[in-house]
């Protein structure tokens, strides 16, 4: 085990290691695998309800990206009695086609004047959102072949050669590591294509782990956009609700606070996902469903109704 990986295990995963070695995770793995199908059906229905499922493939690619950005604010919206899907539907009253994403003034209006709660986020963040949407839409417009490996390669090239020059210096300093990683990537199969797709999103002004993982989860697992069987690199997004459930289940020694793609907290999360579900780590989306329904942002947790109640040591 490398020194860096050992540091992650020692900092976050001593309880997880003990449970794994003691064979105490098998029932949890089985129950989460069963419930993951319910979660997938929920998201299939959600995509259909907001008008993303089916239709033109390029529209699907950009609309799914836009929804994934809205989903970044899931917990803030839920706290206000809203949801990403409700806000997305308001946004889409104005943004009807790919060309609408090119118009940053129109995007600003769609968020600032049509959305209820997202309109309240600060102007600088709204500008990062609309710049990212516009850049991504322009990339998709110029892509000629949307087969996964080709799509990832063309997106990579567009991001590297057409977006960095427009980034303010302050943002570029933060994003430069991802541009460097993307530049060095050799996209030769579905696995490297998916990783490049996520890294391309991380390069954008609003790009972060939650958006990149939600985007690939929706496209590959829910919408089955490229009809590929290998899902070992598709992860559920890590957010504060998921982190709370992992802590309650006794899978982490402390709550994961740093959600960034290169952080040790996210690396610990990936280890948990890969260990429990090596072929399909996105099954951890069950933890998010549990957080939304029964566990997170509640004065009193509704443990009696939770799918995982009998398996949860409640170590929060």
| Residue 276 vs residues 36, 229, 239, 304: alpha-carbon distances, Å | 13, 18, 18, 24
Radius of gyration of the chain (CA): 19
d(CA 52, CA 46): 9
pTM (2 decimals)?
A: 0.96
Please determine, for residue 42, whether its predicted confidence score (pLDDT) is greater than 70: yes
d(CA 72, CA 100): 22
Average pLDDT, the chain: 95
Please determine, for residue 237, whether its predicted confidence score (pLDDT) is greater than 70: yes
Please determine, for residue 298, whether its predicted confidence score (pLDDT) is greater than 90: no
> At 146, is the secondary structure helix, strand, or coil?
coil
Taking 3-state DSSP, the helix, strand and coil percentages for the chain, each rounded to the nearest 5, stand at: 70, 0, 30
d(CA 201, CA 193): 13
Architecture of domain 1-54+231-316: Orthogonal Bundle (1.10)
Q: What angle do CA 63, 68, 74 make, to 5 degrees?
A: 135
The pLDDT, as a whole number, for residue 207 is 97
The pLDDT, as a whole number, for residue 1 is 67
Mean pLDDT of 131-140: 97
Mean pLDDT of 107-136: 96
């Amino acid at each position: 085990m490398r020194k860096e990986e050992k540091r992650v295990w020692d900092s976050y995963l001593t309880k997880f290691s003990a449970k794994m070695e003691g064979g105490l995770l098998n029932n949890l793995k089985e129950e989460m695998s069963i419930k993951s199908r319910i979660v997938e059906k929920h998201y299939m229905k959600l995509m259909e309800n907001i008008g993303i499922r089916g239709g033109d493939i390029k529209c699907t690619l950009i609309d799914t990206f836009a929804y994934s950005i809205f989903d970044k604010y899931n917990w803030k919206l839920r706290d206000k009695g809203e949801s990403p899907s409700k806000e997305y539907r308001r946004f889409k009253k104005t943004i009807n086609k790919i060309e609408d994403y090119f118009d940053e003034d129109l995007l600003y209006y769609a968020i600032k004047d049509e959305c209820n709660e997202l309109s309240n986020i600060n102007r600088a963040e709204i500008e990062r959102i609309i710049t990212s949407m516009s850049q991504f839409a322009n990339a998709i417009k110029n892509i000629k072949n949307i087969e996964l490996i080709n799509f990832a390669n063309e997106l990579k090239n567009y991001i590297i050669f057409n977006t960095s020059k427009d980034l303010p210096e302050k943002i570029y300093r933060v994003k430069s590591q991802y541009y460097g990683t993307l530049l060095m990537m050799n996209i030769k199969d579905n696995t490297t294509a998916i990783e490049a797709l996520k890294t391309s999103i991380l390069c954008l002004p609003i790009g972060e782990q939650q958006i990149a993982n939600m985007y690939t989860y929706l496209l590959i697992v829910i919408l089955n956009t490229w009809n590929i069987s290998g899902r070992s690199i598709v992860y559920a997004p890590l957010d504060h609700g998921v982190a709370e459930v992992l802590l309650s289940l006794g899978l982490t020694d402390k709550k994961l606070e740093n959600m960034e793609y290169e952080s040790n907290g996210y690396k610990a999360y990936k280890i948990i996902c890969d260990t429990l579900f090596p072929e399909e780590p996105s099954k951890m989306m069950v933890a998010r469903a549990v957080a939304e329904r029964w566990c997170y942002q509640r004065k009193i947790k509704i443990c009696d109704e939770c799918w995982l109640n009998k398996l949860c040591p409640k170590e929060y």
